Structure 1
Amino acid sequence: MNGPRSAVLISSRVNCHYLSGFTGSNGYLLVAESRAVIFTDFRYLEQAKNECPGFEVVQISGGYEPLAKVVTDMSLECVSFESLHTSYAHHQRIRSALTDRIFLNPAEGAVERLRSTKDESEIELLEAAVNLADSAMEQALQSVHTGVTEIEIAKVIEACLRELGADAVAFDTIVGAGVNGAMPHHRADQTLIKKGDPVVIDMGALFKGYRSDLTRTVLADPSGKDNEKFEEIYGIVLESQLAAEKAAEPGMKAADLDKISRGVIKKSGYGTYFGHGLGHGVGLDIHERPMVVPSSSDVIEVGSVFTIEPGIYLPDWGGVRIEDVLLMEESGPRVLTKSPK
């Protein structure tokens, strides 16, 4: 905030939830030093009162006139808004609702920086989400056989998560059999798994708003010749991942961690086949800070929860990716994921 006559307008649904506890689908916050207001429509008025202690609840019906009235009542001179989450059209509507004397200040990433480290209650929920994913992955891997479709594997995961108490999958489940595994975000379809196919499974659990992320790669009903190529690629990816998990420490630049893991794959001659970042933070969003990528300026702090997920993707063969979720503690990283690899 820029002073006692300033406030921040929070429009991202995830950031609204993080700051207020609100889980409705329509609403935004105005937060000042001495007053916090949640704006929502009729459907969520009682819900907002229950979920958002400490927030004044104001009803909206389509426009930004209620916001303008509160801004005037508070005698604000500046309203900072989330530039990454506010479209040009909404910015124009906000601008037209407020008087010309109100300065609209674009602010970027303030709440995301707060979310990049987790408190004890968040870590507890994330650990529960990770444990759910571990259990579902165990069931999924037992289902990988010749003649089974990718979508059947995805359905096993979803059913298992529901049965165990997850709210939903954290994102659309990725199952890539054979050459489909060379596409890092291939969505599970009706492709039949063939004998000797490498099969990439990337999935996660949603639990009380928090998300886990887990990838394992296995060989379907392998024979001797199938094993040779798979073991080569898998061994390199595993070495790359373990090198990063060993090197991670509090205060480390995320880009430096990416460089360590990427260096293992480059040294093995497959550098051009690892084309995505090493990892990302997880929490209320499946991808959040710290971003563990070459271009990142993020720092991995105590309380950061993030993934390590190197991969090699060969278009005429398939892919291998191995992904764990880590929690950075004062003594170093703790791997939350328990699935064998």
Structure 2
Amino acid sequence: MVHGLCLLLIETSLAGAGTGGQPGGPGRSVRRPGRSNAGHPSDKEAGHVRESMIRRFEAVRQFLRERGMAAGLVTGPISMRYLTGWSNPSKRFAGLVIPADGEPALLVPALEVEEVRSASALRLVAWQDGEDPFAALSGMLRAAGAGEGRIALEQADLPVGQLRRIAGALGLAPSVLLDAAADLSPALSAQRESKDEDEIALLQQAADMLNPALDAALAAIRPGVTEREIARVLEEAMLAAGADGVAFETHVLFGPASALPHGSTGARTLEPGHVVLMDFGAQLRGYRSDITRTVCCGAWPDELARVYDVVLAANQAAIAAVKPGVPLGDVDRAARQVIEEAGYGAYFIHRTGHGLGLEIHEEPYVVAGNEKVLRPGHVITIEPGVYLPGVGGVRIEDDVVVTEDGCRVLTSWTKERLSAG
């Protein structure tokens, strides 16, 4: 029993993840049954994943110790996925307690236990519908030595209502828990910036799934087809290639609508001479790819053909600038300079790129004035574009990983100026 609740403590552990200790109160131990690996990493992959998780937890513990915190509490879905391999699919509360010295434990809704066990080797504490998860959480935090409020929270991802309930369960004022120096949000975001080899492998697989999708879309482009039909072709081909789902809402824009950088896919029908802008991505085990290619139905109009060549040159210039130690603002400048010198600077109306990983947009950002420097393991998009109102737009986007001596482009579908249909 923990504070009057009947909880189920599931005895699993992440070898090397802690030094002992069992956050949470005593409960009925349940032996972890063997499970099929269908849909999950192989034994070899799982070993790499465990090593990655151990490193990630130790980085969090180091953060806690440096700030005199007894424990960290992770509640954001992205950080939860990063540290556990599991993402909470419901609105029911889940929280990961990481003691500064001790083994992490994950509080989850009871109906998610089987799914969590298939993804994570962490110690689990399950709460049933009708029980108060925050009372259970307070027991776990007290067991970790954080009952007096020495807790690092993900402040950017913690709703005010949850903050109040956590504080109330501990008998504390919410303000006691809001130590800016112990905010886990920027620390975890910074930790996720540099990808390890397992993450890069997943991002490469997700990028490879885009090729058959673009091949299928190119074959389907013809006058009279709708944006939604091409979007459906892209998505079905990605799923057939093994994607778990789409990385974000697929954007397919025809003709003048392609001048809207984030326009919505609709029922517009394709006409000869219209460009087709396709911005989409695949999701694999939470990791996301992101590509944009622009083709034309029939012959390219002269001005848009010129624009395409300028945007391609900007894409290539920015990729050539990507290497360790280079400020991200310089990469943006490399793309922007090409477009400005061609006379289209006023029509390049967004940053050159963004970080990519478990989120489709994450740190670091390839934007003017960003003095943060590139490091090996950074994965960014390079996506310059020119958008002519009432005429059309061209964007060419690639996913790029920073290596020890330069970079490697993950997306490989052709950037040749193509006509279709």
> TM-score by structure 2 length?
0.76
Task: Name the counterpart of 1:12.
Answer: 76
Gaps of 5+ in 2: 1-62, 416-421
Distance 1:295 1:37, change over 3 A: farther
Structure 2 residue 311 is the aligned partner of structure 1 residue 237 = yes
Task: Name the counterpart of 1:65.
Answer: 135
Structure 2 residue 97 is the aligned partner of structure 1 residue 30 = yes
Of Structure 1 and Structure 2, the greater strand share is in 1
Q: Deviations over 1:73-127 (max 9, x none)?
A: 2221411111221122222222222232864434132112111111111111111
3-state SS of 1:244 partner? helix
Counterpart-to-counterpart distance in 2, 1:127 and 1:273: 31
Is contact 2:69-2:152 (8 Å) kept? Answer: no
Question: 1:62 Cα deviation (Å)?
Answer: 4.8
Instruction: Please identify, of 190-199 and 133-142, the stretch whose mean Cα deviation from structure 2 is larger.
Output: 133-142
How many residues were matched structurally?
338
> Match for 1:291: what amino acid?
Y
Larger Rg: 2
Distance 1:78 1:331, change over 3 A: same
Question: 1:46 Cα deviation (Å)?
Answer: 3.3
Is contact 2:311-2:394 (8 Å) kept? Answer: yes
Counterpart-to-counterpart distance in 2, 1:62 and 1:221: 62
Counterpart-to-counterpart distance in 1, 2:97 and 2:330: 37
Instruction: Please identify, of 53-62 and 145-154, the stretch whose mean Cα deviation from structure 2 is larger.
Output: 53-62
Question: 1:63 Cα deviation (Å)?
Answer: 4.2
Task: Name the counterpart of 2:356.
Answer: 282
For residue 332 of structure 1, the aligned residue among 380, 383, 406 is 406
Task: Name the counterpart of 1:42.
Answer: 110
Counterpart-to-counterpart distance in 2, 1:56 and 1:159: 36
Distance 1:272 1:92, change over 3 A: farther
Structure 2 residue 85 is the aligned partner of structure 1 residue 21 = yes
3-state SS of 2:399 partner? strand
Counterpart-to-counterpart distance in 2, 1:75 and 1:131: 46
> Match for 1:325: what amino acid?
D
Gaps of 5+ in 1: none
> TM-score by structure 1 length?
0.93
Task: Name the counterpart of 1:250.
Answer: 324
For residue 304 of structure 1, the aligned residue among 356, 378, 390 is 378
Structure 2 residue 144 is the aligned partner of structure 1 residue 74 = yes
Is contact 1:13-1:28 (8 Å) kept? Answer: no
Is contact 1:236-1:268 (8 Å) kept? Answer: yes
For residue 88 of structure 1, the aligned residue among 142, 160, 174 is 160
Counterpart-to-counterpart distance in 1, 2:250 and 2:304: 22
Is contact 1:172-1:203 (8 Å) kept? Answer: yes
Counterpart-to-counterpart distance in 2, 1:289 and 1:202: 20
Is contact 2:127-2:133 (8 Å) kept? Answer: no
Counting only pairs closer than 5 Å after superposition, residues 191-210 of structure 1 correspond to structure 2 as 191-210=268-287
> Match for 1:257: what amino acid?
V
* Seq. identity, %: 35
Is contact 1:5-1:75 (8 Å) kept? Answer: no
Structure 2 residue 295 is the aligned partner of structure 1 residue 218 = yes
> Match for 1:85: what amino acid?
D
Counterpart-to-counterpart distance in 2, 1:280 and 1:130: 16
